[in-house]
Chains A and B, each alone.
Chain A
Amino acid sequence: MTAQPAPVAETGYPWPIETARLDNGLRVVVSEDHTAPVVGVNLWYDVGSRHEPAGQTGFAHLFEHLMFEGSAHVAKTEHMRYVQGAGGNLNATTNPDRTNYFETLPAEHLELALWLEADRMGGLVPALTQETLDNQREVVKNERRQRYDNVPYGDAWLRLLPLLYPPGHPYHHATIGSMEDLNAASLETFQAFHAQYYAPNNAVLTVAGDVTAAEVFALAEKYFGAIEAVPVTAAPHGHLSGPATAPVQETVVGNVPAPRVYLSHRTHPFGTAGYDAMTVLATVLGSGRGSRLYQRLADGARIAQPDYIGSYGVDLAHAPAPLIVTATAKDGVDIGTLTAGVAEVLDSMATEPVTAAELDRAKALLTTSWWRQVSTVAGRADTLSRYATQFGDPGAAAYRLPQWLAVTADDIADAARTLNPESRVTLTYLPEGDDK
C-alpha cells in the first residue's frame, strides 16, 4: 500500500449536528457518533470574567466552584460522587469570555448528567450557604497560590492582560481575580450573579456521542424545560479603537531561574479572518522545531532554551485577542540579546515572505491539532458549544479548519505588518541579581 496524500479538508466537522431551542431559550445541540459507548455533555454559559465589574474580579471563577457544591436536589459533594460513581469524569473552566461545564460518561448515564446540570442551573441559590462560599473562597485562593503565585513566571498572564488592555476594558483583569476582591465576596452577590447569568437563554447545551438527537431533545425538555428565562444583561463592550499606539514595557525581578521575555500584541477577535491569519502566523513563527523561532534562536543563534520558546494566540472572541511570543535565555545570554533576537524574528514575518514549505508545515500541524481536538466526544461537544455561543451556529465549527488552510503567504504578511514595535507589549523576567 502506498502512502496517501494529506487529506484536503472540506469540512472540519464531518459528524452530524442537530439543534433545537426550548421555549425558555436554551439552545440544545446534538452530534451523534456511535463508535464508542460514551457521551460528552457540555454547557457553555455566556458569562466570564469580562462581565465582572471593578471590585468583583475573580467572581465568575469562584462561582464556577460553587456550582459543584450542591443544588436544590443534590446535597453538597454529591454532584462529584454521582458522576464519578457513574464512571464519568467532569470539570469546568472559566476564562474571560465564558464558563463551561462538562462531563464524559458511559452513555447509559446521559440522563443523570442532564438532571445534575438542570438542577444547578435552576436550583443553585437555595442550596448556596455562607459556609460553602467561605470554603470555596479558600480553595480558590489556594488555586491562585499553586498556579500563579508560587511558580516561577506563573503570573505572566496576570501581568500581560493589564498591559494589553486599558483600565475598564473587560479583558483588563485576569480571571483568577485578586485576593482582595475574593475576600470581599458576599453571599448576596453570588445569589444575584446566578440569577443574572445562569439562565437557560444564556446557555448552550451540547451532547455528543452514543445518543440520538430525538432522545436528547426530549430529555432536555424534561429536565430544563421548567426553568424560566430571564432578561439577559448586555456584557460590557470590548470595543477598542485600533491597536495600541505606544509600546509598553514591564520588568519583573524575582525568583526565576533564567531571563525570559514575552512580546505580545492585541490582534483580532477569535473567529475573524484576521485572527485565522494570526493563528497560522503564530504556527509558522513558533510552533515546533521547524518554526522560525526554533530554527533561528534555539538551533541557529542558540541564545534561547529549546523547550521554552514559542508563540501562540489566546482564542478570545469579544475583543482583539492576544498573540504571545516568548523565549527564555540560555546560560550566559543576557536579556537584551534575547529580546532583540525574538523581536528580529517576529519582525521577519513582515519582511521575509513565508515560504511554501513553512506554510505547508504550519497547516499540517494545525490540521493534526484540529483533528486531535475533535477526537473525543468531550472535545467535540465543547467545540460545538463554543460556535453556538460565540457565532450563533454550531455548524460554523466546520469552517475553522478550511479557513486556516485557505490562509495565504500574503495574508500572513499583511497580518505581520500590524505587529509593529509601536504597539508591542514587552514583559521581562530577570533573576534576582541580574537587574543591574
Chain B
Amino acid sequence: MTLVATRPDPGDARPYTFPGIQRLSVAGGEVVAAHMPGQLLATATLLLDAGAAYETIGREGTAAVLAKSLEEGTATRDSAAYALALEGLGAELSTSVDWEAFRTGVSVPVGLLPRAVALLAEATRTPRLDPADVERVRDDEATALRMDWAQPGPQADAALRVSLFEPGERYGRPLHGDPESMAAVTVEDVTAFHEAYLKRPGVLLVAGDLEKLDLRELGEAAFAGTSGAPLPVEGPLDVPLSPARRLILVDRPGSVQSTLRLGHRAPERAHPGYVPITLAATVLGGAFTSRLNHLIREVRGYTYGIRADFAMSRRFGRFGVSSSVQTAVTAPALTDTVGEITRTQQDGVTEEELAVARTWRAGSLSVDMQTPGSIAGALATLVIHGLPDDYYATLRRQLLETTVEQVSAAAAEHLHPEALTLVVEGDAAAIRDELVAAKLGELL
C-alpha cells in the first residue's frame, strides 16, 4: 500500500464575498437584507433595542418572561390558534434576549416568509399578555431556571459575573436572572417592558433569495402600528481590574467533576483592538489546537475540553476560560491554566500558532455563514455595533494581515492573569484544602 506522503498545497483561493446587502427605510423602521440566491429557506429577525440591560435590578428575567409570553395569545387569537397558524407554516418563533437586543425570528421556505413575518409581528407587537398567563409563564420560567441551575455551570457563571462588576450594576447579575429574580418578576414589569421597548419599530433583518421577496411588504408588516424614536446608545464602560487573584468555591457535594470559570473584565466589541485580541484568545484557548486544550486535554487528559475567549458586547467585555475537570485534578488543572494564561501574556504568541488562528478565523467567515440563519445573525452584529456594510470583507483582510507583534501586544495589554477571578464549582470537601495549598489566590 502506498499512501501519499506529503501534504498537498491548497488550490487557488476562491474570492470571498458576503451576500449583497440591501437597506430600506419603510413604515418608520429599517429593513436590512442579505441576498442569497437559490436558497430554499429564508430567515427574518426583528431586532429590537430591548435588551436585558434595561431590566430592573432584582427583576432580572423580565425580558425572558416577556419573550415566552408573546406566544400566549395575541390581540386576535388565543395561544392554541396562534401555535397552529405559525407551526402550520412550518415555523417556530425563536426569541432571544442578550444585553443589547431582544430578537424574535422565523425561518421558513422562502415563499412562506410574508405570512410568517405577519405572525411574527402579531406576537411581538400585540401580545395578549393576560395577567394569569404572564404569571404562569413567570412560574414556568422560574422552574425552568431552577432546572437549569441544578446543572453544573450556571452557579459558577453567576459567581464569576458578580465578582467582575460593582454591586448594583445590572451587568453583574446573570443575563437571564436567577431563579429568585425570575420568581420576583411581576405582570407590571412585563407589560411595562413591552410598552417601553417592543413598540418601537426596530430593525427587520432578512436573509434569503431576495428575488422572491418584497422587502417593503415585509417591513410594512413588521413595523405596522409602531412608534417612537431609537433609544440613545450609551458609551463603553471602563475596564476595572482586581488588584489580586481571587478564588471562589461553589459547593456541589458529590460532584465527579469540578466546573471551572476564570475571568476578568475586557474592552467592548467595537474596540479598535478587536482583531488582535480575538486572535490572541484563539491561540490561547479558541482552537482545538490551542495552548489550553493541548495541555489540559491532550497532554494531561484532565478534561473533555477547555476554551478561552473574549466575550464582547456593546458596553463591556470579559475574558473568560471555561472547562470541567475531574475532581481529583482540580488544583493542578487550575495551576496549569493560570500558567498558560501567564505565559501568553508575558511571552506572546508564535508565528506558527498565529498562522493557524488567522486562517481559521478568516476561513470560518465562509464556513460558518452558509445559511440564512447565520447570515441574519451576521447582519445583527452590523446593526448592533454600528459596523459598515463591507465589514466582513474588511474583517477577513484584517484577520489575515495581523502580525505576531500586534497579537503579542494585545495579549500583553488585555490578558491580566494576576487579576483573574477563579471560580470552582465542585465537591468542596474533596478539593478545598488542595486549592488553598496551591496558593492560586485568596479564597473568598
Q: Check if B273 is an interface residue, CB within 8 A of chain A.
A: no
Contact with A along B67-99 (1 / 0, CB 8 A): 000010000000110011011111110000000
Q: Which residues from chain B contact A104 at a C-beta distance below 8 Å?
A: 367
Contact status B3-A73, CB under 8 Å = yes
Contact status B111-A6, CB under 8 Å = yes
Q: Check if A281 is an interface residue, CB within 8 A of chain B.
A: no
Closest B residue to A374 by beta carbon equals: B40
Q: Which residues from chain A contact B12 at a C-beta distance below 8 Å?
A: 108
Q: What's the Cα separation between A82 and B139 when bound, in Å?
A: 49
B61 to chain A, nearest CB (A): 14
Contact with B along A404-432 (1 / 0, CB 8 A): 00000000000000000000000000000
Contact status B112-A227, CB under 8 Å = no
Contact with A along B356-392 (1 / 0, CB 8 A): 1001111110111011100000000000000000000
Q: Name A182-230 residues within 8 Å CB distance of B.
A: 210, 222-223, 226-228
Closest A residue to B111 by beta carbon equals: A4
Contact status A227-B1, CB under 8 Å = yes
Contact status B140-A330, CB under 8 Å = yes
Q: What's the Cα separation between A328 and B148 when bound, in Å?
A: 13
Contact status A108-B301, CB under 8 Å = no
Q: Which residues from chain B contact A372 at a C-beta distance below 8 Å?
A: 41, 107, 371
B302 to chain A, nearest CB (A): 7
Q: Check if B287 is an interface residue, CB within 8 A of chain A.
A: yes
Q: What's the Cα separation between A371 and B213 when bound, in Å?
A: 18
Identify the stretch in A45-53, A86-94, A160-168, A381-389 within 8 Å (CB) of chain B at 4 or more residues: A86-94
Q: What's the Cα separation between A37 and B257 when bound, in Å?
A: 42
The residue that B257 contacts in the complex, of A107, A136, A145, A366, with Cβ under 8 A, is A145
Please count how many residues in chain A sit with their CB below 8 Å of the partner chain's CB atoms: 91
Contact status A108-B355, CB under 8 Å = no
The residue that A289 contacts in the complex, of B3, B8, B79, B151, with Cβ under 8 A, is B79
Contact status A135-B301, CB under 8 Å = yes
Contact status A375-B10, CB under 8 Å = no
Identify the stretch in B13-21, B237-245, B411-419, B435-443 within 8 Å (CB) of chain A at 4 or more residues: B13-21
B29 to chain A, nearest CB (A): 19
Contact status A305-B140, CB under 8 Å = yes
A128 to chain B, nearest CB (A): 15
Q: Check if A237 is an interface residue, CB within 8 A of chain B.
A: no
The residue that A110 contacts in the complex, of B11, B114, B256, with Cβ under 8 A, is B11
Q: Check if A290 is an interface residue, CB within 8 A of chain B.
A: yes
The residue that A36 contacts in the complex, of B83, B147, B366, with Cβ under 8 A, is B366
The residue that A3 contacts in the complex, of B80, B115, B150, with Cβ under 8 A, is B115
Q: What's the Cα separation between A372 and B40 when bound, in Å?
A: 9
Contact status A5-B111, CB under 8 Å = yes
Q: Which residues from chain B contact A306 at a C-beta distance below 8 Å?
A: 140, 144
Q: Check if B214 is an interface residue, CB within 8 A of chain A.
A: yes
Q: Check if A251 is an interface residue, CB within 8 A of chain B.
A: no
Closest B residue to A330 by beta carbon equals: B143
The residue that B11 contacts in the complex, of A108, A136, A295, with Cβ under 8 A, is A108
Closest A residue to B218 by beta carbon equals: A1
Contact status B3-A227, CB under 8 Å = yes
Q: Name B313-331 residues within 8 Å CB distance of A.
A: 324-326
Q: Name B139-156 residues within 8 Å CB distance of A.
A: 139-140, 143-144, 146-147, 150-152
Q: Which residues from chain A contact B28 at a C-beta distance below 8 Å?
A: none
Contact status A357-B3, CB under 8 Å = no
Closest B residue to A140 by beta carbon equals: B304
Q: What's the Cα separation between A297 and B220 when bound, in Å?
A: 37
Q: What's the Cα separation between A110 and B367 when bound, in Å?
A: 13
A226 to chain B, nearest CB (A): 5
Contact status A299-B356, CB under 8 Å = no
Contact status A106-B144, CB under 8 Å = no
Identify the stretch in A117-125, A269-277, A346-354 within 8 Å (CB) of chain B at 4 or more residues: A117-125
The residue that B90 contacts in the complex, of A85, A142, A364, with Cβ under 8 A, is A364
Q: What's the Cα separation between A289 and B108 when bound, in Å?
A: 17
Contact status A84-B360, CB under 8 Å = yes
Contact status B364-A290, CB under 8 Å = no
Q: Which residues from chain A contact B86 at a C-beta distance below 8 Å?
A: 290
Q: Which residues from chain B contact A111 at a C-beta distance below 8 Å?
A: 8-11
Contact with B along A99-143 (1 / 0, CB 8 A): 000001111111110010011001100000000001111110111
The residue that A87 contacts in the complex, of B11, B115, B366, with Cβ under 8 A, is B366
Contact status A3-B41, CB under 8 Å = no
Contact status B356-A85, CB under 8 Å = yes
Q: Which residues from chain A contact B186 at a C-beta distance below 8 Å?
A: none
Contact status A305-B87, CB under 8 Å = no
Q: Which residues from chain A contact B336 at a C-beta distance below 8 Å?
A: none
Contact status B112-A152, CB under 8 Å = no
Q: Name B174-231 residues within 8 Å CB distance of A.
A: 213-214, 217
Q: Which residues from chain B contact A2 at a C-beta distance below 8 Å?
A: 114
Q: Which residues from chain B contact A80 at a C-beta distance below 8 Å?
A: 287-289
Identify the stretch in A238-246, A252-260, A315-323, A336-344 within 8 Å (CB) of chain B at 4 or more residues: A252-260
Closest A residue to B361 by beta carbon equals: A87
Q: Check if B136 is an interface residue, CB within 8 A of chain A.
A: yes
The residue that A210 contacts in the complex, of B14, B90, B288, with Cβ under 8 A, is B14
The residue that A257 contacts in the complex, of B36, B37, B41, B147, with Cβ under 8 A, is B147
Q: Which residues from chain A contact B444 at a C-beta distance below 8 Å?
A: none
B369 to chain A, nearest CB (A): 8
Q: Check if B298 is an interface residue, CB within 8 A of chain A.
A: yes
Q: What's the Cα separation between A368 and B355 when bound, in Å?
A: 39
Q: What's the Cα separation between A105 and B363 when bound, in Å?
A: 7
Pairs across A and B, CB under 8 Å, 5 listed: A135-B301, A143-B304, A258-B143, A307-B140, A368-B109
For the complex of A and B, the 10 pairs showing the least CB-CB separation, nearest first, are A87-B363, A138-B301, A4-B111, A37-B14, A364-B90, A368-B90, A290-B83, A289-B83, A85-B356, A108-B11
Beyond known contacts A135-B298, A146-B324, A150-B255: 9 more, CB 8 A cutoff: A85-B360, A110-B11, A111-B9, A122-B3, A258-B147, A290-B83, A367-B109, A368-B91, A375-B41
